[in-house]
Amino acid sequence: MTTHADLLRHTLVDTLAQNLTRRGLTLFPDVERALRTVPRDKFVPEVELERAYADTAVVTKRREDGTGLSSVSAPNMITDMLLQAHGTRGLAGAHVLEIGSGGYNAALLRELVGESGSVTTVDIDSEVTDRARRCLDAAGYHDVAVVCADAEYEIEAGRRYDLIIVTVGAWDIPPAWIGQLTDSGVLVVPLRTHGTTRSWELRRTGDQLISLSNMLAGFVPMQGAGQREGWSVALHEQVTLWLNEIYQQQFDGTHLDGVLAHERREAGTGVIVPGGRRSADLDLWLATHLPDFAMMISQQSAVTSGLVSPASPFGTPALAHDSSLAYRGRLKALSDTEFEHIVYGHGPDAEQVVQQMAEQIRAWDAAGRPAPTLHVTPIDAPEHDLPHGQVLTKRHSRLVFAWN
């Protein structure tokens, strides 16, 4: 008998498949089967059925200040990461470690690995793992192993996994993650760099990882030894600057006080975007090529009032140099089908910083609008062994962004 929950679940999966098709992607049959099989409502029993099958995240634990600590991620984000994890080989028979335990994703993975595979899900918070255990049991997934531990470290001595999938926002990739992968194992991780988070599909090659794909993502932050707080300064009560991790500790933002009160300068780039589609790779290009890069976050009221006109209020590339600021603006419509990248600036040297950012947008265009490849190397890798590209040094690793 088909229940109301079944109907809602199938409608959700139909919508996910349609959205993927519009993006030029395909929902693999085994991933679709898993999504149609696992009852998401069993993993968010606190909410009504309609919300359980809405394409939104459900926060299941918050800090006192309201910050989310644990959630059942939005189905579209889970699906995208499962497609990354699936790759071209599929997951049948795979042994999987999930870091971050909402329960729902672990159940989907259990469907994908089949009887000959296994799924272990780990979280640092015993309240989260206890909840995941209850939900998994209620949904019938008794053979998913649930572990309470800090996943910065090895979970089970000598155990190796074909896939490690991280469902919390990570700032770095600790050695234990690479060490627990099989020789050609895959790590799927939402990695925060330069103020943005992308989910990277990374394959192990020796003691390094090389990316196979990436996409924009957003997750609650990592806790425990791998936790890293963000760093920001207020430009206005409605506008915040999230700083490039390279120089954030030396940046107090006082020299930018009142910068948005300066007359706004505008520069066209001549770089045209057909159909107004987002250029996510451009943001990372700017992050890795501009030494004073930051991300500007704007409340909608600041956009509505005309104080700022960012490419995205949720995070737009910015350049903070001395007492001046430039940022990538909302695309300018040239016709119904063509849009131009625009740069705005404020401050005494607005013209200079605006042109600096505009030149990098043109450079990205002249290079053929390349996609990034990420190489993850050990922190002690010799300089001469690093691939060619922009290097970002973390606590445990060096990230090298190469542009193909």
Q: Is the Cα torsion angle 216, 222, 225, 227 positive or negative in sign?
A: positive
Q: Do 225 and 85 touch, CB atoms closer than 8 A?
A: no
Dist. CA 40–CA 28, nearest whole Å: 19
- Structural contact between residues 186 and 280, judged by C-beta atoms closer than 8 angstroms: no
**73 annotated active-site:** yes
Identified catalytic residue from 70, 73, 101, 199: 73
Q: Crossing angle for the helix pair 104-113 and 126-139, nearest 10 degrees?
A: 50
Tell me the residue ranges of DSSP E strands in 194-254: 196-205, 208-216, 232-236, 239-243
Please give the Cα distance from 190 to 216 (Å, whole number). 8
| CA nearest to 365, candidates 277, 273, 268, 291 | 273
CB count, 10 Å around CB of 220? 22
Please report where in the chains the tokens 């007359």 appear, as a residue. Answer: 263
DSSP code of residue 220: P
> Which residue, among 175, 176, 172, has the nearest Cα to 149 in the 3D structure?
176
List, as own/partner pairs, every contact residues 31-35 make where C-beta atoms lie below 8 angstroms and the sequence separation is at least 24, other chains included. 31/79, 31/82, 31/83, 31/86, 31/108, 31/112, 33/111, 34/82, 34/108, 34/111, 34/112, 35/9, 35/75, 35/79, 35/108
- Point out the residues that are catalytic: 73
